[in-house]
Amino acid sequence: MREETSLHTFPPGLIGLLAGLTFGWGFNFPMMKLVLAEMQPMHFRTLSLLFGAAGLLTIARLKGLPVQVPKGQWTRMVAIALVNITGWNILAIYGLRLLASGRAIILGYTMPACSVLFSIWLLQEPFTNRRALGVALGLVGMGLLLGSEIHAVGRSPLGSMLMIGAASTWALGTVMMKRWPVDLPTTAFTGWQMVIGVVPIVIVALAWEDGTFNPFALSRGPMLGALYTLFVAFVFCYWAWTKIALIAPVGVSSLAVMMTPVVGVFSGMLVLGETPRWQDFAALIAVVGSLATVMLPPRKVKSPLPSV
């Protein structure tokens, strides 16, 4: 029974880490909106990734953890970073801008549907009825969060395609981390992903954008949003997600983060003064149901009584 639980439910020892990740990334939604009002997207992502990489690799050094990529594993390290970091950050940021709606980032959280397919293909993870229900409930929740803004999504097919592409790269990168592991502690592994993944983003920022990389050049609100992103989203949250993704089955870990956009929508009400709608509360119920499929242990099947 222990083996079945590990394959189909979220590891209990990581629940606290998941809660921190959910609220950390969820509250980053309105913080991102504040920053992008005054900083170009690739400048913002460059600053975030460079700070995150420096912070994580420094922590690894201070803790005495190995930080050198093992010989023969550089190819997989670069491939994972380009898909997981570069692909997600470029596609998601520009998709968000083209859709002209902060809530459209929720399209990125169609990632579990993609990750389940990738995990079946590359990892041979089982596709159970329970996991199918979790994906369905999660997608219903995402659809409800988009609500009336679905018309704006339809008016920008390129933006929608970019966001779905971002979801696909996130899903594929998550599967790649498990299929082709790099023999490094999570802290150093995440830091190196940022070092490698930021290179194309720096090129895009310098070639096509104008603006500043200095968060202290921003006004107070966007500056606080940038500092939150640097310390919380790109040091703690990226590290926490990588650790969860490496330990839990892909289908389980992907469904577990679907509460993040729900937190993002409700935190936007606190930070940006947005008004809740009935769809937001219905989405919360649907996503809680999706979470239950990976949080609650499978029901034990009673063994038949032996014949006398």
pLDDT recorded at residue 39: 92
Within 10 angstroms of residue 241's Cβ, the number of other Cβ atoms is 24
How far is 165 from 157, CA to CA, in rounded Å?
12
What are the sequence ranges of the domains in the chain?
2-295
pLDDT digits (tens, 9 = 90+) for 15-68: 999 999 999 998 887 888 889 889 999 999 999 999 999 999 999 999 999 999
* End-to-end CA separation in angstroms for the chain: 26
pLDDT recorded at residue 303: 47
What is the amino acid identity at position 186? T
Give the pTM: 0.84
How far is 40 from 222, CA to CA, in rounded Å?
12
pLDDT digits (tens, 9 = 90+) for 103-116: 666 777 788 888 88
**Cα 256–chain centre separation:** 10
Most confident range (mean pLDDT) of 133-137, 169-173, 297-301 is 169-173
Mean pLDDT of the chain: 84
